[in-house]
Amino acid sequence: MPSQQKSSPEYQQFDFLMNAPALFNAAATAAELRIFMFLSENPGSDFEAIRQFTGVPSHQLRVLLQGVCAASLLERSEGGYRNSAVAEDLLASEEPGSWAHTLIGWKEIYYPAFGQMTKALKAGTNTALDSYPGDEPTLYKRLPRNPELEGVFHKAMAAFTLASINDLVEREQFSTVTHLLDIGGGDSTTTARLLERYPHMRSTVFDQPSVSELAHGKEAQKFLDRIDLVTGDFFDTPFPEGADAVLFSHVLGIFSAEQIVTLLKKAYNVLPSGGRVFIYDYNVTENETKGIYGARLGLYFNVLASGTGMAYPAEDFEGWLAEVGFENISTVAELDYEHGFHVGVKP
């Protein structure tokens, strides 16, 4: 094979792909060992200082640091180690928006499931969920059996949500909302950011009971007087009345077309005339060939989380909104991290 071909971007991407699982886990391990935080506070530390801080045996630490340097997250010069600019920006803090939470959540929950991809896709259902006790059909409904893991999951979810939330919060449509209904609002991270930006707004957050309890976490704490928590299964429990807008953020893509239409109908039924539904989710583009975040998400849904769903194209969301009876349907495309924002108005 000509060496010219091997240095092309496609070959380099293949090389990266082949080694990515090990490097990903090295980065997650460094995050778990708090190496990025240590080096942020102590830049230029030598090997011995990192060994003492982590307690990892010398040879094993040498191998780990080689992996993290090869992943371009650490730099080594004159015997000292520093975070790369990316690691310093994304991984060196414990704030709710730190990608360290996302790395650890994906390592603990998402990526172990991908080893079962062939089996799950052939079976046509999320067989990787068998690793979690219970008979509930989705990961979301099994996680409450394991509060510690559910905490890891929602920390990761909230951190990733915070990475993409500015494009949502700045949609001008929110400026005229007085009462939002945030369906599947998780630990209220999204609602908290909206309430901070729009002081006249209040929000009802609907999620499972164990998840609603997490709303007392850092982001939502300041706004609890403007947040009502409603709990239940959103397929079985009636949506609460009184909101003039309903938000589905990172919720509809989890489900099948039929389930999405069911949820949109429930939103339609509780909205007044002129009320709006907002969908914020991943959109696949370019003939379903582009977008690594959406591709990962669709595989995770099908192998583990729900056995269905994907990063649907914008046209699919628009079609479902029209099917349910919404009008003035619009999409803002190509938002951060492959997101789209879809709006429908109840006539």
Contact between 251 and ligand SAM by CB under 6 A: the answer reads: yes
- Applying CB under 6 A, the span of 3-11, 98-106, 185-193, 285-293 interacting with ligand SAM comes to 185-193
Closest approach of ligand SAM to the CB of residue 157, in Å: 5
Question: CA-CA-CA-CA torsion for 140, 307, 110, 89, nearest 10 degrees?
Answer: -80
The footprint of ligand SAM on this chain (CB under 6 A) covers a number of residues equal to: 18
Between 213 and 316, name the residue whose CB sits nearer to ligand SAM: 213
Residue 222 burial (CB count, 10 A): 11
Contact between 309 and ligand SAM by CB under 6 A: the answer reads: no
The DSSP 8-state label assigned to residue 305 in this structure reads I
In order of 1, 5, 18, 143, 329, the CA distances from 8 in angstroms are: 12, 5, 16, 43, 43
The DSSP 8-state label assigned to residue 267 in this structure reads H
The DSSP 8-state label assigned to residue 338 in this structure reads G
| Beta bridge mates, 45 | 81
| Beta bridge mates, 341 | 280, 332
Q: Which of 235, 290, 328, 336 binds ligand SAM (CB under 6 A)?
A: 235
Between 186 and 344, name the residue whose CB sits nearer to ligand SAM: 186
In order of 16, 56, 78, 91, 336, the CA distances from 86 in angstroms are: 18, 24, 21, 8, 18
Contact between 208 and ligand SAM by CB under 6 A: the answer reads: yes
- Applying CB under 6 A, the span of 8-16, 96-104, 183-191, 290-298 interacting with ligand SAM comes to 183-191
Contact between 190 and ligand SAM by CB under 6 A: the answer reads: yes
Length in residues, the chain = 347
Contact between 233 and ligand SAM by CB under 6 A: the answer reads: yes
Between 127 and 161, name the residue whose CB sits nearer to ligand SAM: 161
Between 152 and 211, name the residue whose CB sits nearer to ligand SAM: 211
Q: Which of 38, 81, 110, 140 binds ligand SAM (CB under 6 A)?
A: 140
Between 187 and 318, name the residue whose CB sits nearer to ligand SAM: 187
Give the Cα separation of 34 and 311 in Å (integer): 33
Q: Which of 54, 83, 116, 161 binds ligand SAM (CB under 6 A)?
A: 161
Closest approach of ligand SAM to the CB of residue 314, in Å: 18
Between 84 and 188, name the residue whose CB sits nearer to ligand SAM: 188
CA-nearest of 178, 222, 215, 218 to 196 is: 222
Residues 79-138 that bind ligand SAM (CB under 6 A): 138
Between 67 and 185, name the residue whose CB sits nearer to ligand SAM: 185
Q: Token pair for residue 161?
A: 């949500």
What b/e sequence results for 311-328 when a residue is b if at least 16 CB atoms lie within 10 Å of its CB, and e otherwise?
bbbbebbbebbeebebee
Residue 77 burial (CB count, 10 A): 8
Closest approach of ligand SAM to the CB of residue 143, in Å: 8
The DSSP 8-state label assigned to residue 272 in this structure reads P
- Applying CB under 6 A, the span of 56-64, 116-124, 231-239, 268-276 interacting with ligand SAM comes to 231-239
Between 29 and 161, name the residue whose CB sits nearer to ligand SAM: 161
User: CA angle, corner 26, sides to 153 and 296, nearest 5?
Assistant: 50
Contact between 186 and ligand SAM by CB under 6 A: the answer reads: yes
- Interface residue list for ligand SAM (CB under 6 A): 138, 140, 157, 161, 184-186, 189-190, 207-208, 211, 233-235, 249-251
